[in-house]
Chains A and B, each alone.
Chain A
């Protein structure tokens, strides 16, 4: 049985996935080459767990034990004892291939690799992993530590045994897997990225403010978050990467990155993580904290 899980990349998604795995009882090795990113994730995770204790969802002992199962590292060799590694770095095929090929050298042959990609083809990522048959897509939803859905996709070379093991592993995390085909954006992002771009274009065209658009969509459709509240959580930089990946794969104009996103990135208005995106924020707490 999988005892130790690796998470490569400790941005918003990686940190959330690490919490999910640790909460399920796994020892989690969180790898990132950026020591500051690891420290930021550690502080945010502690804040999130403190809030869980305050809300009565976790005891202090459970929190301490959970934190004890989370081990940050900048050394990829520390993932050598992982039987399952989830890649959660930014959406760049070359960068993912570079990371996975290093992991392939470090991890045992039986270790299953998964990618948290939301847009790039599982088959294409797997092709650069050195173990395409032991590779699956596991797309967690944002914020991973709160959302149960995982879109699971097999690549063309994923073995049946890998698929069965990965599905069981996902369920062992307490998550709800849904099988989707290996197509750009799977289900969720195929619809979400263009919808967000449409909303951004309403601002560009002076149709309404972010506040009014958020109010309208929440009230009319019963959505828990307006598009700009969610975009600020995703981050403008991530939205651009998602757009570039999706548009590059589909050539669908709704997926093309709106110019406003590029200007916001240049201005440092990345979203909640930078204190300002489409809305302004006074803190840098993890979602749910």
Chain B
């Protein structure tokens, strides 16, 4: 049976049509509220999947074990800035999430053609935790004159087979978006490597002006 998908407000994961997904559960996308989760919990199903932004799943369901919410998982379809969302769904669970609910949510997203990576409920999940310090380092070394942006991109593309260099990627997806995600992770993790690089700061402030 098709999963019950509720999109409230703007969803970064599903900015357009929502793919058909199958499973006995509810997918809440867009602006997720405690009332929305409570309403979803009234429906019969194996899981409730709620869309996450930069925040953790615990922001919505708390840190402590709660049997009523053990079927709730978080998800985010990875998307860089203004680019179209990709095919990855990061699926977030806590240490008290029901394993069957997690498996059911994973199967539902897979039925929609998505690739699933499961992770714990930590700021930045997987991809942002890994790319934001890297992109900040690229921007800082660009300022330092390590190489031109074009040569840096060429080296990383040829050396590692990346489809796009980091500078071109930031140009395409937006330095200001990189600033916002990095700043959120720096606040959550307290790690200086997430501090937005100078170029991202400037882009963000100019966008705000």
Which A residues have a C-beta under 8 Å from some C-beta of B? 141, 147-149, 151, 176, 178-181, 183, 186-188, 190-192, 194-195, 198-199, 202, 205-209, 212-213, 215-217, 219-225, 227, 230, 253-254
The answer to whether B117 touches A215, judged by C-beta atoms less than 8 angstroms apart, is yes
**Residues of chain B within 8 A of A190, CB atoms compared:** 137, 141, 146
- Given known A-B contacts A192-B160, A223-B160, A178 and B120 have beta carbons under 8 A apart: no
Enumerate chain A residues within 8 angstroms of B154, measured Cβ to Cβ. 178
Whether A187 pairs with B129 at a CB distance below 8 angstroms is no
CA distance A212 to B119 in the complex (A): 7
Within 8 A of A (CB), among B68-115: 78, 86-88, 90, 115
* Chain A residues, CB < 8 A from B163: 221-223
- Per the 8 Å Cβ criterion, residues 159-183 of B in contact with A are 159-164, 166
* B112 to A: closest C-beta gap in Å: 14
Residue in chain A with minimal CB distance to B95: A206
With a cutoff of 8 Å between Cβ atoms, the chain A residues found around residue B78 in the complex are 216, 219-220
Q: Distance in Å from the Cβ of B116 to the closest Cβ of chain A?
A: 8
In the complex, chain B residues whose CB is within 8 Å of the CB of A205 = 122
**A-B residue pairs, 3 tightest by C-beta:** A216-B117, A149-B158, A219-B88
18 other A-B residue contacts (CB within 8 Å) besides A178-B155, A198-B130:
A151-B155, A180-B147, A183-B146, A191-B137, A191-B156, A191-B166, A195-B133, A202-B129, A206-B120, A207-B125, A207-B126, A212-B118, A212-B119, A216-B127, A220-B78, A221-B127, A227-B130, A254-B193
With beta carbons under 8 angstroms apart, the residue of B115, B133, B137, B156 that contacts A188 is B156
The reply to whether B162 and A222 contact each other, CB–CB distance below 8 Å, is: yes
B126 touches A208 (CB 8 A): yes
User: Given A178-B154, A216-B127, is A188 in contact with B159 using a C-beta cutoff of 8 Å?
Assistant: yes
Decide if A216 touches B88 in the complex (CB within 8 Å): yes
Asked whether A223 lies within 8 Å of B162 as measured between CB atoms, the reply is yes
B143 contacts which chain A residues (CB < 8 A)?
Answer: none
Count of B residues near A, CB < 8 Å?
Answer: 39
Residues of chain A lying within 8 A (CB to CB) of residue B147: 180-181, 187
Min distance, Cβ A249 to any Cβ of chain B, angstroms? 14
Q: Are B164 and A222 touching (Cβ within 8 A)?
A: yes
CA distance A38 to B191 in the complex (A): 45
A residues near B162, Cβ cutoff 8 Å = 221-224
What would be 15 A-B contacts, judged by CB atoms less than 8 Å apart? A147-B158, A149-B159, A176-B158, A178-B158, A191-B156, A191-B166, A206-B120, A207-B125, A208-B125, A212-B118, A213-B126, A215-B117, A216-B127, A217-B130, A220-B78
Q: Give the residue of A180, A208, A215 whose beta carbon is less than 8 angstroms from that of B120.
A: A208
Most buried by B among A199, A202, A209: A202
Contact of B7 with A by CB under 8 A? no
Closest residue of B by beta carbon distance from A139: B159
Q: A219-B87, A223-B160 are in contact. Are A195 and B120 (CB under 8 A)?
A: no
Complex contacts, B188 vs chain A, CB 8 Å: none
User: B138 an interface residue at 8 Å Cβ cutoff?
Assistant: yes
Given A187-B156, A208-B118, A220-B88: A225 in contact with B161 (beta carbons within 8 A): yes
Q: How far is the CB of B207 from chain A (nearest CB, A)?
A: 24
Residue of A with least CB distance to B169: A221
Given A213-B126, A216-B88; A254-B133 close (CB under 8 Å)? yes
Q: Closest A residue to B164 by CB, please name it.
A: A222
State the CA gap A216–B76 with chains docked (Å).
12
The docked-state distance in angstroms from the alpha carbon of A224 to that of B162 is 7
| Most chain B beta-carbon neighbours within 10 Å: one of A198, A217, A220 | A220
- Max count, chain B CB within 10 A of own CB: residue among A178, A187, A217, A254: A187
A206–B120 CA distance with the chains assembled, in angstroms: 7
A-side contacts of B120, CB under 8 Å: 206-208
Q: Whole-angstrom distance between the alpha carbons of A206 and B137 in the complex?
A: 24
B203 at the interface (CB under 8 A from A): no
Interchain CB contact under 8 A, A223 and B161: yes
B159 CB contacts on chain A under 8 angstroms = 141, 147, 149, 151, 187-188
